[in-house]
Amino acid sequence: MAELRNDPASDWQRATCYLNGEWTALADAKVSVLDRGFIFGDGVYEVIAVDTVDGIRAPFHAHAHFARLQRSLDAVRIDNPLQVEQWLDLTAEVIERHLWPRQLVYVQITRGVAKRDHPFPAGVAPTVFVSTSPWPAIPSEQVEQGVAAVTHVDERWLHCDIKSTSLLGNVLMKQYAIDNAASETVMLRDGFLTEGSSTNISVIKDGVISTPPKSVQILPGITVDGIAHIAQQHGVHVDVRPITASELAIADEIWLCSSGREVLAIVSLDGAVVGSGKPGPMYRTMHEWFQQAKREDARNWVAQRRARSIETRASEGVT
Ligand code: PMP
């Protein structure tokens, strides 16, 4: 294990990672230039947030992330090299190997290394890469003051439901936000809201949370589903339906959400004020509920790991 000083700014370079069955220093890990991930963007990935709540360091919605990974792999016809329990073990191990209280675990699988040619190569093992890095605290100013966003036509392909490593469309949209002094680009296709460059978007009007339906146009976000679940638990109505550009203009609140940004209020869109221009009351409540849900999820993770370790020991004949 690399010597880590729990100094996120410099330590990530000394982190360790899992590459094709081996643990290796991140700085030394190498994949072939013929890897189809490099050549074609022929791969899929997941990002799992890890936080320490009530003294428990846990990944959030880990099962949901590996279910979505399976869905992405199926969609691009790459065999899943591991079972869900093995993925969870690997996630636990990568977290254990690093001291950071907040981490972002990346799981990346490509179609593997082969002579450059478009068709799927036969008999090639996928490349499997798992790494983690420090996850800086979400700036309190963003939570308290909200963030700015800009809109843009969604110019991406029609497989946005696959969490593909082919992210050029998303990268260009994130840079569009940066170039326009904004934090996110909210995309519209044929006049309807799709999603952000790396987030899902919800619109709040008259106490109802609305989100676009799942389709090939958006990533089925784990966080947006989490928010819908939390809202429903608290009796807040969630409407899953197409949302027009004009609804964005008259929304009381607009939220962006993702594993890495949790939930943030968009307080200005294309330079126009959203609602009161401050994170609204629904946002503040949801932010609090979200933190509570993380606590529950952390406790569940611990219980599941305990059950897993008992099961493993039993199968190994350890009593
Ligand atoms: N949409 C896109 C395009 C994303 O990249 C992300 C972040 N992975 C999301 C939505 C949010 O997904 P999640 O809540 O699962 O992190």
Mean pLDDT of the region 12-34: 94
User: Ligand 1: which residue has its CA nearest to atom 12?
Assistant: 221
CA of 7 to the centre of ligand 1 (A): 27
pLDDT surpassing 90 at residue 9: no
CA of 205 to the centre of ligand 1 (A): 23
Which atom number of ligand 1 is nearest to the Cα of residue 223? 14
Please provide the average confidence, as pLDDT, over all residues in the chain: 96
User: Ligand 1: which residue has its CA nearest to atom 5?
Assistant: 198
Q: What is the C-alpha separation between 7 and 129, in angstroms, rounded?
A: 23
Mean pLDDT of the region 2-22: 76
Upper half-sphere CA count for residue 42 (Cβ side, 13 Å): 19
Q: What is the C-alpha separation between 285 and 231, in angstroms, rounded?
A: 10
Q: What is the C-alpha separation between 33 and 39, in angstroms, rounded?
A: 7
pLDDT surpassing 90 at residue 3: no
Q: What is the pLDDT of residues 197-226, one digit of tens each?
A: 999 999 999 999 999 999 999 999 999 999
CA of 118 to the centre of ligand 1 (A): 27
Q: What is the pLDDT of residues 80-95, one digit of tens each?
A: 999 999 999 999 999 9
Which atom number of ligand 1 is nearest to the Cα of residue 195? 1
Mean pLDDT of the region 155-175: 98
Percent of the chain with pLDDT over 70: 96
User: Ligand 1: which residue has its CA nearest to atom 9?
Assistant: 199
pLDDT surpassing 60 at residue 194: yes
CA of 225 to the centre of ligand 1 (A): 11
Residue 278 among the catalytic residues:
no
CA of 313 to the centre of ligand 1 (A): 36
Q: What is the pLDDT of residues 251-295, one digit of tens each?
A: 999 999 999 999 999 999 999 999 999 999 999 999 999 999 999
pLDDT surpassing 60 at residue 1: no
Main-chain dihedrals φ then ψ at residue 180, nearest 5 degrees: -110, 25
Question: Which pLDDT does position 310 carry in this prediction?
Answer: 92
In the beta sheet, which residues pair with residue 256?
Answer: 201, 264
Q: Which of 258, 261, 297 to mutate to test the pocket of ligand 1 (most atoms within 8 A of CB)?
A: 258
User: Ligand 1: which residue has its CA nearest to atom 4?
Assistant: 198
**Which structural domains are found in the chain, ordered by start?**
8-134 (3.30.470.10), 140-295 (3.20.10.10)
Question: Which pLDDT does position 316 carry in this prediction?
Answer: 84
CA of 23 to the centre of ligand 1 (A): 27
Q: Residue 301: exposed, middle, or buried by beta-carbon count in 10 A (0-12, 13-18, 19+)?
A: buried
User: Ligand 1: which residue has its CA nearest to atom 1?
Assistant: 199
What does DSSP say about strands 238-240 and 208-211: parallel, antiparallel, or unpaired? parallel
The residue from 115, 163, 214, 278 that is catalytic is 163
Query: End-to-end alpha-carbon separation of the chain, Å?
Result: 29
Question: Which pLDDT does position 12 carry in this prediction?
Answer: 74
Percent of the chain with pLDDT over 90: 92
Q: List residues near ligand 1 (CB under 6 A).
A: 47, 170, 195, 198-200, 219, 221-224, 258-259
Question: Which pLDDT does position 313 carry in this prediction?
Answer: 87
Question: Which pLDDT does position 13 carry in this prediction?
Answer: 75
